[in-house]
Amino acid sequence: MGIGLNDDERRRRRGYDSGGRIWRWGRLEGEVETTGGFWDGSNGTCRLREDGRFRKPVNFQSFGVRVWFLYGFGPGGLGAQGIHETGFQLGNYQLTSNSNRSPLVLTSHHPRLSLSLSLSLSLCHSIKHLMRTIGYAALISRCAHPRLLCQIQAQLTTSGLLPSSVFFHNALIRAHSSADSISLYAHLLRRGLLPDAHTFPFLLRACSLVPAPPQGLSAHAHALKLGLASDLFVNNAFIHFHSVAGRVSDARRLLDEAAVVDEVSFNSMISGYARLGDLHNARKVFDEMPARNVVSWSAMVSGYVQGGRSKEALEVFSQMQAEGCKPDDTTLVGVLAACAHLGALEQGKWVHSYLKGNNLRVSVFLGSALIDMYAKCGDAELGLKVFNEMRDKNLLVWTTMIKGLAMHGRGLEALQLFSEMEGSGIVPDDIAFIGALCACTHAGLVDKGRKMFDSMIQQYGIKPKIEHYGCMVDLLARNGLLDEARKLIERMPMKPDALIWGALMAGCRFHKNVELAEYAVKHLIQLEPECSGVYVLLGNIYAASGRHNDARGIRHLMKRMGVEKTPGCSLVEIKGMVHQFIVGDTSHPRIKDILAKWEEIEGRIRIEGYVPDKKEVLLDIEEEEKEDVLSRHSEKLAIAFALISTGDGMGIRVVKNLRVCRDCHHVTKLISKVYCREIIVRDRTRFHLFKNGICSCNDYW
């Protein structure tokens, strides 16, 4: 069995000198210790795989243990990390030829409950015995059962093992990962024990999670005093601790002063900068690294996604593949999020097939990313398929699916899912309720929405946030209950924000209530004087109700305030390439063909009764010019381009940054009929599925 390398080889792989300091190779690369393996339960043999794959769950049926990976464990033995059926994780489970009947095995054939019971009993009865046989602290530190953890802790205390040992403190600090970890650390100091290089990484993770910055900082002082701050792991922990909390300059200083660094040190910095939206520096760190690993690439990909620069995220991803770095599940989560933002269905599908082909398990993270991608790319059905195939669903997966259906106007199904979720024992949180309320809005279910709002407060004790009020205002206003919406705004406990007034105004626009719209807009302009959408909307309302002078007034106000209208921008994916169109943009290489196509389209839809609807063009310009501006709206360009670049009958999907204007909406409906195409347009807030002259939004958006 190829366990381990000789010392020379190991040293060669471990580190090399880079600019005066040591660069340590990560454990994940090139070391046989982490080579994946599998256990053949039938004859009790264990084989190592040489392809370096690990963390591939393998059924370890005869013992009820799933092995995550096996690795060389010194001469003659093998270590394993696995997970028991109970969800109890095993670490450093020593497997040698005669020890595959360790105490855990005896509990393997029991049903779940008794399993964890007997497990805890055997722990309590023979702690010292277990200590010798199965890396006891590893067991504690991975213990996923809080109750069991408490039992262990009590047992450790009474047996006198805890008070005198840093070792057990460390394991417990890691296992708790909460405020308890910080008290355990205090306990350790009170006892006069000296924390070691393992203590600080565990402790700091807790300090980041709680969060407890002062405790973290004083730990740093202590680590310095003990001379531990130069330890690679300890220093990395502090770099990470600072990065997470947004203190990148402190992190940077630690990185610059460190004697030994590895990828981890840099990776924390990348995500630290990215978290602050400083992608320039994130990239700089990334480029500075002597070597990058999967984590570095993933951090860069998701950094770009979080910064709203999804196109660059996909570029980084292809660069990653070009350099031969294999993406893992976390990378793909980021890539999927990028696809979702861009509406890049083809690339999203590619990721899906990639993870199928590489046997990556659809985790809750991957699952929700996939569902979200499919929903946002306009294919709710494929999202549902992923959803139905997932075995373990958490709140996030459910919420993503519910929200996805709501986005598509499939409110009833979304609500059905919501009650199924409640039935399966998952407790909805505030965000889940936003999804449910959205579903009510899109399905026009006013009563149901009121009931959900109440049950959120009464049954679940969730205090409604401003977003929930936003949903309710939207729901009421959309359905013409404008007065009730206004009253709700007046009695809500917080100051209404722009979204609230915006929802009211959208309702006013649809139900043609100019007075209330003006009332809403006054508040809106106060809140967001620089936001162009507000002026445009009010101008549209004026224009639509024939008050052209007022509309012009708005235009002048915008000029005076120096507000620029956000240009409309549409994306369309053709053969895996995302094409971008900006309103009036003539830079596309095929712009001539596109405009010619538009002429043809216009001719054909005019036969169907199309008359340009210029009401929403509020600029005070000549009538013909208005038509011209209208015909160059970005979604019209994008659809015309899609019509000439795809075969007959193929679906078209467009992603737009603003709301669809009334004229474009009408035009798209007609195109879907005349050209027999299904056209999906995702605008700022929802989906429009145009099919045979009808839109799924029922003309309210």
Cβ partners under 8 Å of residue 567, min gap 6: 582, 583, 584, 634
Binding map of DNA across residues 369-388, x = CB under 7 A, - = no contact:
x--x----------------
Task: Name the helix (H) or strand (E) containing 689.
Answer: strand 687-691
- Asked if 91 touches DNA (CB under 7 A), the answer is yes
Please pick, from the candidates 89, 107, 116, 271, the single residue that binds DNA as defined by CB under 7 A: 271
Please pick, from the candidates 32, 184, 197, 655, the single residue that binds DNA as defined by CB under 7 A: 197
Choice between 470 and 507, CB closer to DNA: 470
- Asked if 365 touches DNA (CB under 7 A), the answer is yes
Choice between 442 and 665, CB closer to DNA: 442
- Asked if 240 touches DNA (CB under 7 A), the answer is yes
Number of shown-chain residues binding DNA (CB under 7 A)? 72
Sign, Cα dihedral of 172, 173, 176, 181 = positive
Please pick, from the candidates 104, 148, 152, 337, the single residue that binds DNA as defined by CB under 7 A: 337
Query: Minimum CB separation from DNA for residue 299, in Å?
Result: 4
Q: What is the b/e burial string over 285-311, where b = at least 16 CB atoms within 10 angstroms of the residue's CB? A: bbeebeebbbbbbbbbbbbbbbbebbb
Tokens of 362: 């659809």
Q: Binding to DNA (CB under 7 A): which residues in 244-263?
A: 244, 262-263
Choice between 63 and 273, CB closer to DNA: 273
Binding map of DNA across residues 167-196, x = CB under 7 A, - = no contact:
x--xx--x---------------------x
**208 backbone dihedrals φ, ψ, rounded to 5°:** -75, -35
- Asked if 141 touches DNA (CB under 7 A), the answer is yes
- Asked if 28 touches DNA (CB under 7 A), the answer is yes
Closest CA to 636 of 603, 678, 594: 594
Tokens of 36: 């994946």
- Asked if 658 touches DNA (CB under 7 A), the answer is no
Stretch in the footprint of DNA (CB under 7 A) among 292-300, 381-389, 475-483, 647-655: 292-300
Work out whether strand 652-656 and strand 45-48 pair parallel, antiparallel, or are unpaired: unpaired
Q: Binding to DNA (CB under 7 A): which residues in 460-499?
A: 467, 470, 499
Tokens of 502: 């915006």
Cβ partners under 8 Å of residue 671, min gap 6: 601, 605, 639, 643, 677, 679, 690
Choice between 53 and 588, CB closer to DNA: 53
Please pick, from the candidates 105, 364, 412, 582, the single residue that binds DNA as defined by CB under 7 A: 364
Q: Binding to DNA (CB under 7 A): which residues in 412-451?
A: 431-432, 434-435, 438
Binding map of DNA across residues 541-580, x = CB under 7 A, - = no contact:
----------------------------------------
- Asked if 527 touches DNA (CB under 7 A), the answer is no
Query: Minimum CB separation from DNA for residue 275, in Å?
Result: 7
Please spell the DSSP secondary structure of 99-160, one letter per residue. Answer: -SS-TTGGGTTS-HHHHHHHHHHHHHH-HHHHHHHTTHHHHHHT---HHHHHHHHHHHHHTT
Calculate the alpha carbon distances from 690 to 614, 682, 695 in Å. 21, 11, 4
First vs last Cα of the chain: how many Å apart?
Answer: 65
- Asked if 330 touches DNA (CB under 7 A), the answer is yes
The amino acid present at 622, given as its one-letter code, is E
Stretch in the footprint of DNA (CB under 7 A) among 61-69, 146-154, 394-402, 591-599: 394-402
Closest CA to 374 of 398, 355, 348: 348
231 vs 242: CA distance, rounded Å: 17
Question: Quick check: 454 and 447 in contact, CB under 8 A?
Answer: no
Stretch in the footprint of DNA (CB under 7 A) among 368-376, 417-425, 557-565, 574-582: 368-376
Question: Quick check: 96 and 77 in contact, CB under 8 A?
Answer: yes
- Bridge partners (DSSP) of residue 80 are 70, 93
240 vs 83: CA distance, rounded Å: 28
Range list of β-strands (E), 178-336? 260-262
Q: How many CA atoms lie within 13 A of 161 on its CB side?
A: 19
Stretch in the footprint of DNA (CB under 7 A) among 11-19, 45-53, 122-130, 226-234: 226-234
Please pick, from the candidates 65, 254, 264, 344, the single residue that binds DNA as defined by CB under 7 A: 264
Choice between 302 and 668, CB closer to DNA: 302
Please pick, from the candidates 116, 153, 347, 399, the single residue that binds DNA as defined by CB under 7 A: 399
Please pick, from the candidates 69, 202, 273, 469, the single residue that binds DNA as defined by CB under 7 A: 202
- Asked if 26 touches DNA (CB under 7 A), the answer is yes
Please pick, from the candidates 13, 41, 92, 178, the single residue that binds DNA as defined by CB under 7 A: 92
Choice between 347 and 513, CB closer to DNA: 347
Closest CA to 383 of 372, 399, 396: 372
Stretch in the footprint of DNA (CB under 7 A) among 314-322, 362-370, 508-516, 528-536: 362-370
Binding map of DNA across residues 584-603, x = CB under 7 A, - = no contact:
--------------------
